[in-house]
């Protein structure tokens, strides 16, 4: 997936440099008023730049105000089947908004990917994703396979009569981000894997069960429960951690507005 990042501010440059460390081959476009950095491309007017590069990339990451981004892409937008993924990140690196081509173009997945890199909140408004309200937190011993994790997830959901179709994210701690089994399970389930930083878990003031074993192994008070709680909005723990042969599963629910309360005419 060929990607480009575009920014106009010194603060945005810092965010882009962080992204470049994790996104191989990322092209950086910096406004000409900014100091020139190695391996970056300078531009003077974004309204000229965007139409020129719009079809050259599979994804565009703007570290800029959303209104400016909307105006800059407006003349280039054609179809959700052909437009690139467009996401918007604020210069503080707090949110990653899926703005264009959420499903078909991969902007939803890219927002999660960027959110994981920056420890930012992915913002996805696609209806089929927004109505999902469950987050499955996962902790595991090193070397657990994707199948091991799938069995554990399905076992807990089945036992609690929670449908997989309601799961918006799988979530884990950054110390487990490279576990091949976790990545494989997320890919097979086609559910994004949210990575929660160790710092946020240590600072978490929510109620969850601590584990001396986990503290000794990864220097964290717990993984599954805080990851589930921190990966969403207004969450509450509805399934405390369940141990499944070296894998722990917890489930949090986001307390979102019910679609049943929305008038049919909307």
Q: What is the pLDDT of residues 85-104, one digit of tens each?
A: 999 999 999 999 999 999 88
- Which pLDDT score is estimated for 5? 98
- Which pLDDT score is estimated for 260? 40
* Core vs surface per residue 225-236: b (16+ CB within 10 A) or e: bbbbbbbbeebe
pTM of the model: 0.89
At 266, is the pLDDT very low, low, confident or very high (cuts 50, 70, 90)?
Answer: very low
- Which pLDDT score is estimated for 263? 42
At 256, is the pLDDT very low, low, confident or very high (cuts 50, 70, 90)?
Answer: low
Tell me the CATH number at 145.
Answer: 3.30.420.180
Domain count for the chain: 2
Given 72, 94, 128, the domain boundary residue is 128
Domain that holds residue 72: 3-128
Given 65, 100, 128, the domain boundary residue is 128
Helix (H) or strand (E) holding 123: strand 121-123
Residues 81 and 171 reside in one and the same domain: no
Given 93, 111, 128, the domain boundary residue is 128
3-state SS, residue 172: strand
- Which pLDDT score is estimated for 187? 96
**pLDDT tens column, 171-201:** 999 999 999 999 999 999 999 999 999 999 9
Residues 138 and 171 reside in one and the same domain: yes
Within 8 A by CB and 6+ apart from 118, the residues are 15, 18, 19, 89, 93, 96
pLDDT at 8 over 90: yes
Find the helix packing angle between 146-159 and 180-189, rounded to 10°: 60
Residues 8 and 116 reside in one and the same domain: yes
At 257, is the pLDDT very low, low, confident or very high (cuts 50, 70, 90)?
Answer: low
pLDDT at 261 over 80: no
Residues 58 and 109 reside in one and the same domain: yes
Residues 28 and 113 reside in one and the same domain: yes
Residues 122 and 136 reside in one and the same domain: no
Mean pLDDT of 17-32: 95
**pLDDT tens column, 41-93:** 999 999 999 999 999 999 999 999 999 999 999 999 999 889 999 999 999 99
Rounded Cα distance between 150 and 195, Å, is: 18
Residues 136 and 250 reside in one and the same domain: yes
Rounded Cα distance between 30 and 5, Å, is: 8
Residues 86 and 146 reside in one and the same domain: no
- Which pLDDT score is estimated for 85? 97
What percentage of the chain exceeds 70 in pLDDT?
96
At 213, is the pLDDT very low, low, confident or very high (cuts 50, 70, 90)?
Answer: confident
């Amino acid at each position: 997936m060929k990607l480009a990042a575009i920014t106009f501010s010194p603060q945005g440059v810092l965010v882009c440099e962080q992204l470049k460390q994790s996104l191989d081959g990322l092209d950086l476009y910096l406004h000409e008023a900014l100091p020139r950095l190695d391996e970056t491309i300078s531009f003077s007017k974004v309204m000229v730049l965007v139409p020129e590069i719009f079809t050259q990339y599979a994804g565009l990451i703007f570290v800029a105000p959303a209104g400016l981004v909307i105006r800059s892409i407006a003349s280039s937008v054609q179809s959700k089947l052909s437009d690139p993924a467009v996401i918007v990140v604020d210069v503080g690196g707090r949110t990653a908004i899926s703005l264009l081509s959420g499903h078909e173009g991969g902007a939803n997945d890219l927002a999660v990917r960027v959110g994981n890199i920056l420890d930012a909140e992915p913002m996805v408004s696609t209806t089929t994703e927004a109505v999902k309200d469950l987050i499955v937190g996962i902790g595991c011993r090193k070397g657990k396979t994707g199948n091991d994790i799938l069995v554990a997830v399905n076992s807990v959901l089945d036992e609690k009569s929670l449908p997989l179709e309601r799961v918006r994210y799988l979530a884990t701690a950054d110390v487990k981000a490279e576990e091949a089994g976790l990545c494989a399970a997320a890919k097979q389930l086609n559910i994004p894997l949210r990575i929660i930083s160790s710092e946020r878990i240590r600072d978490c003031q929510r109620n969850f069960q601590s584990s001396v074993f986990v503290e000794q192994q990864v220097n964290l008070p717990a993984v599954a429960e805080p990851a589930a709680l921190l990966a969403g909005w207004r969450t509450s723990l509805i399934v405390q951690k369940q141990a499944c042969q070296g894998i722990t599963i917890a489930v949090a629910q986001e307390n979102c507005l019910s679609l049943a309360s929305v008038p049919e005419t909307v």
